[in-house]
A and B are shown apart, each in its own frame.
Chain A
Amino acid sequence: GAVVSQHPSWVICKSGTSVKIECRSLDFQATTMFWYRQFPKQSLMLMATSNEGSKATYEQGVEKDKFLINHASLTLSTLTVTSAHPEDSSFYICSAIFYSNQPQHFGDGTRLSIL
């Protein structure tokens, strides 16, 4: 089945650091990738939708300069949390689809802890 790999799985860093998270589709070409943020015991909040070769579409309230998304190929999207602060600590999960209106396949998530 479709596999999405997300790396790293856990990051602990100091406030002010920029952190890059990678999301790869391993056995299929992902036309679209999504980035979610999930707080403890809460739902997945869509941050942005990323299509290969074009700019990401951000959800309302998500700072595009804070959360930089690059989707350079059909198998890789990256999320960079710039100048991270403690309030950015969260669980970030990516997902990918082969074509629209099909199931999303999720990565394992990245737990980001900013000290």
Chain B
Amino acid sequence: GENVEQHPSTLSVQEGDSAVIKCTYSDSASNYFPWYKQELGKRPQLIIDIRSNVGEKKDQRIAVTLNKTAKHFSLHITETQPEDSAVYFCAASLNTGNQFYFGTGTSLTVIP
């Protein structure tokens, strides 16, 4: 089955700096890669996603890049704000079937 690895597990940045979280996946058949933000005790919320036919996608301060050859994708948050502090999960979806496999999560702290 699919194996998704995520790094780093914790990340602290100063407000206004950029944050980058990286994920790798093992199954080349995966073709959909969402990113979720989860605040403590709350539901994961989709913040951005990318499909395998696209190399990069941007939405305001958030961007995601995908390297299919290397099987890794990254989340980039620019001009970080304290409200960006949360746990971020990457995920990969197989081409067949509906399972999403999540990374281990990154706890992001933005220091004011």
Interface, chain A (partner B; CB < 8 A): 32, 34, 41-44, 46, 49, 93, 97, 100-101, 103-109, 111
Q: Is the CB of B44 within 8 A of A106?
A: yes
Interface, chain B (partner A; CB < 8 A): 31-32, 34, 36, 41-46, 49, 89, 93, 95, 97-105, 107
Q: Which residues of chain B are near A41, meaning CB under 8 Å?
A: 105, 107
Q: Which residues of chain B are near A93, meaning CB under 8 Å?
A: 43-44
Q: Is the CB of A43 within 8 A of B103?
A: yes
Q: Is the CB of B102 within 8 A of A43?
A: yes
Q: Is the CB of A43 within 8 A of B104?
A: yes
Given A42-B104, A44-B89, A104-B46, 5 additional A-B pairs, CB 8 A: A32-B98, A46-B99, A46-B101, A100-B97, A106-B44
Show 8 A/B contacts (Cβ-Cβ < 8 Å), sorted by A: A34-B99, A34-B100, A41-B107, A42-B105, A46-B99, A49-B97, A49-B98, A106-B45
